[in-house]
Amino acid sequence: MNHTPQHDRKSANANRAALNAALVRVLAALSVLTLLTGVIFFGILIRQKAQAPNDPPASSATRAAESEPPVSGSETPPTAPVETENRTTDAATALLPPDTATPPETTPATDTPETDDPVTTPVTETAPVTPPDPGIPTSSVIVPETADHGADYLKDVYFLGDSTTYGMMVYAKDLVSYDHIWAGPGGTIDFVDIANKTIKWPDGEKSFGDWEEITIAEALGRAKPKILIVTLGINFSADGNSTWSEEKREQYFRKQVKAVSDIVKENSPNTKLAFQTIYPTIDSLTSIKNSRVDLRNEWLLAECEERNIPLIWSHTVMSDENGQLIAAYNADHGDGIHLNTAGFRAVLSFVRTHPVT
């Protein structure tokens, strides 16, 4: 039986202990190195993620371009869109005024001469269609509505008529000069034998009764008005002739319209003549009923169309929903025919927005 000496066993044990200690140190060093390597690697990844969290992977061409330094003395404008508050704008658009929709074109100029050819594609504009007033007939002689021509327009207008015109001297004297208002003796004119009818020539130095009485033809020759608006027909006494047929009444009424036109042409050919519709009445207050007024206005329109005379259809602004004179326009004495100040203001406002040109 062999027995290893005691001192040999101690030496072997010492060697194994030293080897184990060295191995432990090596493993510890490797662990530390592995840990440091991992920390560095993850640190690089985290840093790259923080710098460009949303950027897609760059292509090889992009990386190559980024790797080349810019040429000295030049600047490369940005070409990629810049995101700002969820809006994408390129560099060129960002320099435009806020109300400019697109950047100016940068196409290089050429030597091609400009052409004078008109645009071949027509531009179609759709204008709003205003429905006609149901109270105004459709006719080429009806004076259309325009913007208000103002008070100065009335300075060019003379008014010839019966008592419904004469009332302007009292109730519209702040709107129309008295010497532009022609009415007959007694302040009225019958629409019969009009060629021989007379008017009172305005004279501010005398009362109305003392004004000179002259024919319509003479008045036209003196004043040579720029515009003459005639409102006649409410006093059509031929209606009272029971022996006349409706057709004969119409013929006679229209004959008076023609006579006025002829008088103006002969005595003041540069005067622009226009008729105005007969004002409505209030049936319950007068014997001149609206049915007769409406019929006379139809005759007036027919003759104006035949002679191409402008017609101001003011009847519509004077009528209520029943075709009667608006009660608020009825004269203070309430006869259902004549107008008060409000009525004349409505008429003259209509005249200013329906000018004779």
284-323 pLDDT, tens digit each:
999 999 999 999 999 999 999 999 999 999 999 999 999 9
CB 336 within 8 A of CB 286: yes
Q: Extract the tokens encoding 171.
A: 């109730």
Q: Which pLDDT belongs to residue 75?
A: 39
Sign, CA torsion 257/263/268/269: positive
CA of 114: how far to CAs of 107, 123, 241, 354, in Å? Answer: 15, 21, 78, 46
The closest of 256, 250, 287, 246 to 161, measured between CA atoms, is 256
Query: How many C-beta atoms lie closer than 10 Å to residue 355's C-beta?
Result: 23
pLDDT of 45 reads: 59
CATH level 3 topology of 150-352: Rossmann fold (3.40.50)
Q: How far apart are CA 138 and CA 312, in angstroms?
A: 12
* Residue 214: pLDDT over 90: yes
Lowest mean pLDDT among 62-66, 237-241, 299-303, 337-341: 62-66
